[in-house]
Structure formats: structure tokens, C-alpha cells
């Protein structure tokens, strides 16, 4: 037997789901429409210097060396810190990559 409280909870859950889906849809559409101008800003600001390809190669090796040093110094070694090293690699790589492309 379905209680009035259960019906209210279902309706509230549906409203929340519809709101989340509509927000994600709006986010996706706005991202799709903003993408060409986003690429134009990146190509204008990052293309005149070292370049994104060359800075990605440099950033990869800098990130590998940096994370190897950090894992050796941390004490547990590479295997004990792998759950922290994998996300840190991508964060460091993106930051160092864009900073090298921007500065040089």
C-alpha cells in the first residue's frame, strides 16, 4: 500500500531529476555554442610562442620527473602512492603544459 508520504517523495524526486537533467542539457548546449570562441581564444593566445605540441612534450617529461621525485620522497614509494599519483599526473600535466605554452 502506497502512503501519501511515498507519493510526495516520488514527486519531489521526479522534480529534482527533471531540474538536474535540464541544467545538464543547458550546460551542454552552452558549452557546444561556446566551443568555437573558446578554441579561437586558445589559438590566438597560445600559438605565437613555443606551441601547444612542443610544450606538451616538454610538460610530459617535466611531470614524470616531478612525480617520481615526489613519490620517492613521500616514503611509501611509487606503488603505495599510485592512487594519488595518477590524478596528480593529469593535473600537473595540464597546468605545466598551459603555463609553458603561455610563457614561452
Q: Is the pLDDT of residue 82 over 80?
A: no
Mean pLDDT (the chain, rounded): 83
The three cell numbers locating residue 32: 557546444
Its sign, for the CA torsion 38, 41, 42, 44, is: positive
Which helix (DSSP H) or strand (DSSP E) does residue 88 occupy?
Answer: helix 82-103
- The per-type count for the chain, helices as H runs and strands as E runs, is 4, 0
Q: 58: closest CA among 93, 10, 20? A: 93
Residue 86: the pLDDT is: 85
pTM over 0.75: no
pLDDT digits 0-9 by tens, 3-43: 888 888 889 999 988 988 998 899 899 888 888 877 777 77
Residue 77: the pLDDT is: 64
Amino acid at each position: 500500500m502506497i502512503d501519501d508520504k511515498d507519493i510526495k517523495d516520488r514527486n519531489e524526486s521526479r522534480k529534482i531529476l527533471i531540474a538536474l537533467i535540464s541544467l545538464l542539457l543547458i550546460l551542454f548546449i552552452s558549452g557546444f555554442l561556446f566551443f568555437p570562441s573558446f578554441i579561437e581564444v586558445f589559438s590566438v593566445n597560445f600559438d605565437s610562442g613555443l606551441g601547444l605540441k612542443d610544450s606538451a612534450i616538454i610538460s610530459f617529461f617535466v611531470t614524470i620527473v616531478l612525480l617520481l621525485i615526489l613519490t620517492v620522497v613521500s616514503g611509501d614509494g611509487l606503488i603505495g602512492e599510485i592512487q594519488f599519483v595518477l590524478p596528480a599526473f593529469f593535473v600537473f600535466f595540464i597546468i605545466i603544459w598551459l603555463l609553458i605554452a603561455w610563457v614561452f
